[in-house]
Copies of this chain bind each other. A is one copy, B any other.
Amino acid sequence: MIELADVLEARDRVAETSRHTPLEYSHTFSAMTGADVHLKQETFQRTGAFKIRGATNRIATLPEADREAGVVTASAGNHAQGVALAATRSGVDAKIVMPADAPIAKVKATRAYGAEVVLDGADYDAAAERAHEIERAEGRYYLHAFDDPMVMAGQGTIGLEILEDLPGVDTVVVPIGGGGLIAGVATAIVGKKPEARVVGVQAEGAATAAESLRRGERVVLESVHTIADGIATRSVGEETFPVIQDRVDEVVTVSDDDVAVALTTLLERGKTLVEGAGAVPLAALLEERFAFAPEETVVPVLSGGNIDMNMLTTVVVRGLAETGRYLRLRTVLQDRPGALEGLVTVLAAEGANIYAIQHDRTSRDVAMDDAEVELDLETRGPDHVEDVVAALEEAGYPVDVMV
């Protein structure tokens, strides 16, 4: 098992390629929760996520023969970019296998950081198989995304930075996918300040660590599903799990809707972009999935910011809808002059702003002389949504709420 000394030794190495990221007090989230909330903004890390720390420490501690042979790995996400830049800065050759349908932006970024990208495989597992073939054929070192003590130790430098910037920290909240980040951070935090605690957070649809802790043994899920793709991992690591058992206080879960609300709130109020996995700790805090005292000093680790821009627009709409600030509904009107005006009048009286209207007279779901209307509305909150729906129904419009 890794120990505090491993993390302390990683620190200077990691500083060669990575930023000491800001730890920012958040007035907004402190006011919303009653805790004293400071955000560890790893979203501003080079490559947009923490993975470069672990990759740097792993490469720096490889035997010279491995460094000369180069490294290989498989990744559809942040690990690809982290390894690419860490290797380039360390003068080591890197080959990254990405699934054939990997987002173009991530492929371009990985190449731009200096790695050779091999596009192969229908999914991550297939890409990993190909990467292991390359490992054997070319004698390269396979750089695992989390299940490696030197990778964990590198990620743990985040914990050291938090303690340096905020010695009074009570609770650090960390996302869990494979468990490399939390294993390192917990080793650093608990090692230097035993009275502090580390809380892990997973997506409900990929609750591997939560389930493994409950059963007392590592479980592998058949499939996982979450918008937080950075932590959509089918199991925690063999090396990370014992560290989590030993040093993590508790592991909780959040829903995709919770993640969407947290991400949107941080963007709208904090002007900061995170990816789904990066929003997970904030979601757990906002939803009070773990207990905390008033004015307890809580640090959610915003682990990364690499979200696909198309996914972002979907998540934002979902986040607004979830907080009652966006209402998409379908209704039906008689297809005659003035019909739409009646509908708009009801909405104006209720103070709902219209973002968009789609008016379809050819929909097959309604009678020949009616028209289907889809409305996107800005609303003030859950109560307002109820009022708007009730007013429309009272005026004789059938309402089908879509988000």
Choose among A103, A305, A310, A363 the residue with the greatest number of B CB atoms under 10 Å from its CB: A310
Specify the chain B residue showing the minimal Cβ separation from A273.
B271
Partner of A101, one of B320, B353, B362: B353
- Indicate with 1 or 0, residue by residue over A40-53, a CB within 8 angstroms of chain B CB atoms: 00011010100000
Query: Contact between B326 and A316 (Cβ–Cβ < 8 Å)?
Result: no
Query: Contact between B310 and A378 (Cβ–Cβ < 8 Å)?
Result: yes
Q: What B residues does A101 contact at CB under 8 A?
A: 353
Is A214 located at the chain interface by the 8 A CB criterion?
no
- Indicate with 1 or 0, residue by residue over A317-347, a CB within 8 angstroms of chain B CB atoms: 1001000011000000000000000000000
Q: Given the known A-B contacts A312-B316, A313-B313, A362-B362, are A104 and B272 also in contact in the complex, defined by CB atoms under 8 Å?
A: no
How many A residues face the partner with a CB closer than 8 A?
A: 37
A372 to chain B, nearest CB (A): 11
Query: Contact between B316 and A320 (Cβ–Cβ < 8 Å)?
Result: no
Is A10 located at the chain interface by the 8 A CB criterion?
no
8 A Cβ contacts from A52-108 to B: 101, 103-105, 108
Q: How far is the CA of A363 from the CA of B361 in the complex (A)?
A: 10
Q: How far is the CA of A320 from the CA of B355 in the complex (A)?
A: 21
Choose among A48, A105, A271, A380 the residue with the greatest number of B CB atoms under 10 Å from its CB: A271
Is A267 located at the chain interface by the 8 A CB criterion?
yes
Specify the chain B residue showing the minimal Cβ separation from A264.
B309
Is A253 located at the chain interface by the 8 A CB criterion?
no
Q: How far is the CA of A151 from the CA of B69 in the complex (A)?
A: 63
Q: What B residues does A27 contact at CB under 8 A?
A: 46
Query: Contact between B44 and A271 (Cβ–Cβ < 8 Å)?
Result: yes
Q: How far is the CA of A305 from the CA of B317 in the complex (A)?
A: 18
Partner of A104, one of B44, B48, B316, B380: B380
Query: Contact between A108 and B313 (Cβ–Cβ < 8 Å)?
Result: no
Is A210 located at the chain interface by the 8 A CB criterion?
no
A276 to chain B, nearest CB (A): 14
Is A238 located at the chain interface by the 8 A CB criterion?
no
Query: Contact between B326 and A320 (Cβ–Cβ < 8 Å)?
Result: no
Q: How far is the CA of A264 from the CA of B105 in the complex (A)?
A: 13
Q: How far is the CA of A63 from the CA of B104 in the complex (A)?
A: 60
A36 to chain B, nearest CB (A): 18
A277 to chain B, nearest CB (A): 14
- Indicate with 1 or 0, residue by residue over A261-290, a CB within 8 angstroms of chain B CB atoms: 000100110011110000000000000000
Is A226 located at the chain interface by the 8 A CB criterion?
no
Query: Contact between A313 and B317 (Cβ–Cβ < 8 Å)?
Result: yes
Partner of A326, one of B108, B272, B274, B310: B310
Q: Given the known A-B contacts A313-B313, A320-B309, are A271 and B268 also in contact in the complex, defined by CB atoms under 8 Å?
A: no
Q: What B residues does A273 contact at CB under 8 A?
A: 267-268, 271-273
Query: Contact between A353 and B313 (Cβ–Cβ < 8 Å)?
Result: no
A231 to chain B, nearest CB (A): 18
Given pairs A48-B271, A105-B325, 6 additional interface contacts (CB within 8 A): A103-B378, A104-B325, A104-B378, A267-B309, A310-B326, A362-B362
A interface residues, Cβ below 8 angstroms from B: 27, 43-44, 46, 48, 101, 103-105, 108, 264, 267-268, 271-274, 305, 309-310, 312-313, 316-317, 320, 325-326, 351, 353, 355, 362-364, 376, 378-380
Q: Nearest 10 pairs between A and B by C-beta?
A: A271-B305, A313-B313, A271-B273, A362-B362, A43-B271, A104-B380, A310-B355, A309-B316, A267-B273, A104-B378
